[in-house]
Each structure stands twice: as C-alpha cells, then as structure tokens.
Structure 1
C-alpha cells in the first residue's frame, strides 16, 4: 500500500509544531543566516592563518553522516581549477602521503564524530596543517588547539548536522577560496545566503500546499519509491544530498545517480516491479495503468517509482557537450513518463555554481522535511536510530 501524505497536517502550523520536536523547519530556514554568521565566526577564528596563509601541497577533507556533503561540495568546486589535489576521506586511516606540507580539514557538527576526529588527531601528529569546523569546547576543537591549527565554531542552536549544513560548509569554502582552491569569496557566500533566504521564504510553513514548491514536491514523492537523478556533476551532488535527506529525515528509501554515468541503471528500473510498465514490454509501447484493477479484489496498489530530476540552469552558451547533456536528460525523462513513472523536476536558478547548488539543496531539504511531517513522522527523531546508538554505544 502506498504511503499517504496528509496535506492538512503540513498546512497546519500547530500540527507541525506538535510533530517537529527539534524545529527542523526553523533550522533549515536559518541557512542563509548560518552563512552570514559563518563569515563572521571564520574571521574571529583567524581563518587567514589556515596553512600559514600559504597554499598547501594538497588538501584532504573529512566529514561523514549529515555533514558528508561538505566533502562533495568542496571536491565539486575544486575540480575545475584547483592548482593542488583535493581528496576526500570519510574515515581512518589517514593516507600515508599526508605530511607537514598538506592541509587536513575535519568537519563534525558535534566535534565528536569518530572518523573526522581520528583523522584530525593523526594529521596533527604528522605535523600537517589543520582546519577544523564544529562545536566549540569539543574534542575536535581541542585537537586543533593542541596542533596550533584553526578551529571555527558553528555557533549556537545547531541541533543536527542536517540543519547545520551551511554553518559547516561556509567556513570550509571560505578558507579554500582564500587559498585559491575554489572560486568562492565572501560575495559569493553572501549571494548564496540570499538564494537560501529566497527558498526559505517560498517554502515557509504558512504557504499553502498547492503553491509551496517544497510541499508540492513532498506530495509528488509521497506515494512512490524515489529515485533522485542529477543531470550533471553539480546536480549530482544535490541528488546525493536529497537521497540522504529522504532516507534520514522522511524515512523513504531513496537512491541517487548522476548523468551521464548512471543513465542506464536508472532507466533499467523503468522495466521493474515498481512501474506500470512491469510485464507490459515497456521498451516497445507506452505503459498504461490497468483501469479495471479492483483494489478490493486485487489488493491495494503498490508504491510506484518516482523520478526526481534535478536540472542545472541552462548555460549561457550552448556548447555541443551541453546540448548532448540536455538531450540525454530529456530522453531519460521521456522514457520515465512512457513507463508510467511520475516525474518531478527541480531546476536551478542562474548564478554562481554554489548559488545554484544551494537552491537545489534547500528545496529538497524542505521537501524531505514536509514529507516526514505529512506522513506523521518527527523529522529529527528516529526510534530505530536511537536504538542503534544504544546498541553500539555511539
């Protein structure tokens, strides 16, 4: 039986307040303010001292869980033009090549995540430069202080890494920009904050479900099995974040992919058991629902595949490569619709790559949260996650 999203619940601020025990929606709405505060906190921490103000031989960034996207975003923005290699490490061990000429960036909202903490400690032991981002008065802050590194506080009121993303990400990008690794400066971050504010305004709880883009998206995703697909590298990062938020916040098993590499494996699912096309030889004709199906005799309908296509803004100049990418995306969407798959699209608004990415992430973050609330779930608290923590002592 397909899940049911109660739109009256997500249109009621009283119902939202009763379910959202840690004010997840409010936390997401502060994303723009987080960016602006991070600029100030970075200056107070002495961000200009990172790596002695000199460009390192290489950069390794460590983050996981709800802050894992920090690694993905830095890697995405550094790849086109960074003069030094930027690599990602989720957990120990620290690669053997890391030494005094390198910079290690460790990110943890609580300052206690085992992986980033261990990597930071080992980097300090080897004499590498260290930048840490997380809670003040935490083990991670202590490691940075002992290593004479730079620790940037994330500010007060950050309850989860999922809602504190921009407090974690902005200092990392600001420092990388100062070192010439990415094309990000304070103005880009301020533009990003403005885009985050605009999405928060459009997705505010008081906006009715039929006009609120995040609520509309939540309603589209609710009855199905979500597959999130980005049309390129930038949207691919947003797709990975969206799938994580759908699983962790809305408890919806979701998978993600990125074009062009994942086109075949996503399209192959259009023949599978979660589509109307199942058993209809969908490769040769348009799939149609059985209008004679009787839910009392045949049983309730199964959840159907839902494709969430994240599309980047159209380029100013349409190169051959860009035209091919657009054609591939259009072909995947057309194939999905022919197979009876529900398709929702989120297109980035023009701007700097970080600004475009921020809009996509914010929209899907709000949608995942409204989906949880519409299903009657607390977006921040999972009994099974708490039970796992008790079982493993974490």
Structure 2
C-alpha cells in the first residue's frame, strides 16, 4: 500500500514548523548564500596556496555520508579535461601511490568523520599536500594545520551535512578551478548561487502544492517505489544524490541509475511485480485456469474484474472493503539535461534513449515524473537538479509526518555502534 502524503502538512507553515525541528527547509533555502559565504571563506584561507600553487601529480578526494556527492561532482567535472588523474576514496586505506607530489582533499562538515580524518592524517604523514574543508578548530583542521595545508571553514550555524552541501562543495570546486582540473571560476560559482536562489524561491514553503515543483514531485514520489534515472553523467550524479536524500531524509528506499548503462536493468523492472502490467499478467494467467472454459474474450485486470482499465489506471470498480489494497507501484523519476541548441548527435542519441525508457515505463503502468535542467554551465545545471530533488525529499518527509532531520533508528544505530 502506498504511503499517504498529507498536502495540508506541506502547505501549512505551522505544520512545517512543528515537524521540521532543525529547519531543514530553511537550510536548503540558504544554498545560494552557502556558495557566496564559501567563496569568501576560501579566499580568506588562501585557496590559491593549495598544493603550493602548483599542479599536483594526482588528486584524491575523500568524503562520505551527506558530503559524499563532493567526490562525484569533482570526478564529473574533472573527467573531460583534467590534465591529472582524479580519484575518490570513502575510507581507509589511503592508496599506496599517494606521496609528496599528490594532493589529498578531505571533506567533513564536523571535521570528525573517521574516514576523511584518517586519510588526511596518513596523507600528511607521507608528505602529500592537503586541502581540508570542515568545521574550524576540529580534528581535521588540526591535522591540516600541522601539515601546513589549506583548511577552509564551513561557516557557522551549519548543523547538517545534507542541507549544507554547498558550503563543502563550493570550496572544492573553486580549488579545482585554480589547479586547472575543471572549468570552474568564481563567476561560475556566482551563477550557481543565483540558480540555487531561483530554485529556493520556486520551492518555498508558501508556494501552493499545485504550483510548487518540489511539492508536486514529492506527491508523485509518494505514490510508489522510486526509481531515479539520469539521462547522462551529469544527471547520474543528481540521481545518486536524490536516492540518498529520499532514503535519509524521507525514509523512502530508492534506487538510481544512469543512461545508457542502466537502461536494461531499469526497464527489466517494468516487467516485475511493482507494475500494473505484471498484475494484469497474473490476473490473466489466473483467469485462464478459472471456470471460464468457453474461450470467451474477457479482459481481466489486476483487480480480478473484467473491463477496459488501462495499465496504470486505478480500477473504479474496486471495492475498498472487499478487494485487497493495491500494492506499491514503481515511480520513475527521470532527470533530464537541457537539450543543446543546436542539437549534437550525442545529445540526439541521449534524447532518443530517454524517450524510449519513458515510453516503456508508461506502457507498463509506471508513474513517470520528470525534472529537466535549465541551460547553463554544467555545475549550474547540476545545482538546479539537486536543489529541486533536495526540496522534494524534504517535503515528502514532512508530508508523511516525519521530521526530515531526525531519524530515531539512525540515532539508535549511533548508540549501538558508537559512530556519529
């Protein structure tokens, strides 16, 4: 049975205030301000001194949890033209090839995450250059200071890495630009901040459910089991972030993938038990062994009734007291990039693949929601996609009656294991 999203909860600022104990929506709305603050803090810290101002032999990025997407974004933007290899690491051990000619970037908002902290300490022991991003006066900041690296503070009042992504991501992107690893400048980050402000305005709590893109998306995602698919590398990163936010913030399990590689495994699910097409098939097979042996042409659907209900449509003849509740259905969230003008052959192939997957989903009775990026620099386009899905995951949590910032089960796990 699909969860029930109460739209009153996400349209009422009083209900939001009662549920959102740590102001997750308010924090997401400050994303543009986070970028601008990060630019100032980065300049104050002397970001131009990273790796001694010279291009390193290689770069390794360490981040996990709410800041894990920092690794994915740097890999995405560096891959097309970086003159040096860029790799990522979530936890120890530090690869054996890291040495004095390399740069290690460690990111942890609290400055206490065990993985990035241990990697930074080992990198410092080997004489590698260090760039760290995290809380001031933290163990991570101390490791960086002793190694004479560059530490960038995340600013004050940041109480959650999921809602303060850009305070960690912006300094790393600026450093990548300084080192020539990616085409990112302070002007690009200014444009990112503007795009994040635009998304925050469109997705603000006072905007009604029927016009707020994040609330509309939250309602769509509440209808079933989310499958999030990006139409290429950029939206593949956004898809991973969206799946993480849905699980951690809205407590809704989600899977993610990227076209074209994930097309087959995702489309295969459209034949499975979470689609109405499968229900129709089961009902037809059951009917073929039933009492009707005359070969009558009877169309039987998942409710077991005859009629002309199309795949994906609710059965208006279903009796809520006699018929069992409908099972959960797949919801495909397709994240699409802006179409270039003029259209390139590669973009044309991507569009054709995306349209084929969407058509297959609809034919199988899968609910389809789409979020399309607006034109701009790749980081600007990605910022808009992440902002929309971040807001949607938070509204989904609130609509389900959950505090987006506090999970009792996660708190219990921390107590059991001692991990924060």
Query: Which TM-score tier does this pair reach, normalised by the shorter chain?
Result: over 0.9
Q: Which of 361, 373, 390 pairs up with 1:336?
A: 361
Gap regions ≥5 residues in structure 2: 283-298, 300-309
Q: TM-score, normalised by structure 1?
A: 0.98
Q: Which residue number in structure 2 is paired with residue 325 of structure 1?
A: 350
Count of residues paired in the alignment: 392
Q: Which residue number in structure 2 is paired with residue 58 of structure 1?
A: 58
Once the two structures are TM-superposed, the CA of residue 281 in structure 1 deviates from its matched residue by: 4.9
* Rounded Cα–Cα distance in structure 2 between residues aligned with 1:170 and 1:335: 38
Please identify the structure whose Cα radius of gyration is greater. 2
* Rounded Cα–Cα distance in structure 2 between residues aligned with 1:281 and 1:298: 18
* Rounded Cα–Cα distance in structure 2 between residues aligned with 1:287 and 1:219: 20
Greater than 6 Å deviation, 4+ residue runs:
none
Once the two structures are TM-superposed, the CA of residue 223 in structure 1 deviates from its matched residue by: 1.8
Q: Which residue number in structure 1 is paired with residue 226 of structure 2?
A: 226
Segment drifting more, 291-300 vs 362-371: 291-300
* Rounded Cα–Cα distance in structure 1 between residues aligned with 2:320 and 2:150: 61
Q: Which of 371, 374, 380 pairs up with 1:355?
A: 380
Q: Which residue number in structure 1 is paired with residue 268 of structure 2?
A: 268
Q: Which residue number in structure 1 is paired with residue 311 of structure 2?
A: 287
Q: Which residue number in structure 2 is paired with residue 14 of structure 1?
A: 14
CA deviation map 1:88-118 (0-9, x unaligned): 1010000000000000000001000000000
Is 1:303 matched with 2:305?
Answer: no
Once the two structures are TM-superposed, the CA of residue 185 in structure 1 deviates from its matched residue by: 0.4
* Partner-residue secondary structure (3-state), 2:229: strand
Gap regions ≥5 residues in structure 1: none
Q: Which residue number in structure 1 is paired with residue 410 of structure 2?
A: 385
Is 1:110 matched with 2:107?
Answer: no
Once the two structures are TM-superposed, the CA of residue 82 in structure 1 deviates from its matched residue by: 0.2
Contact 1:226 / 1:307 at 8 angstroms: preserved in 2? yes
Once the two structures are TM-superposed, the CA of residue 288 in structure 1 deviates from its matched residue by: 5.0
Q: Which residue number in structure 2 is paired with residue 74 of structure 1?
A: 74
CA deviation map 1:112-162 (0-9, x unaligned): 000000000000000000000010110000000010000000001111100
* Rounded Cα–Cα distance in structure 1 between residues aligned with 2:263 and 2:62: 29
Is 1:23 matched with 2:47?
Answer: no
Contact 1:238 / 1:357 at 8 angstroms: preserved in 2? yes
* Rounded Cα–Cα distance in structure 2 between residues aligned with 1:224 and 1:287: 15
Q: TM-score, normalised by structure 2?
A: 0.92
Contact 2:312 / 2:366 at 8 angstroms: preserved in 1? no
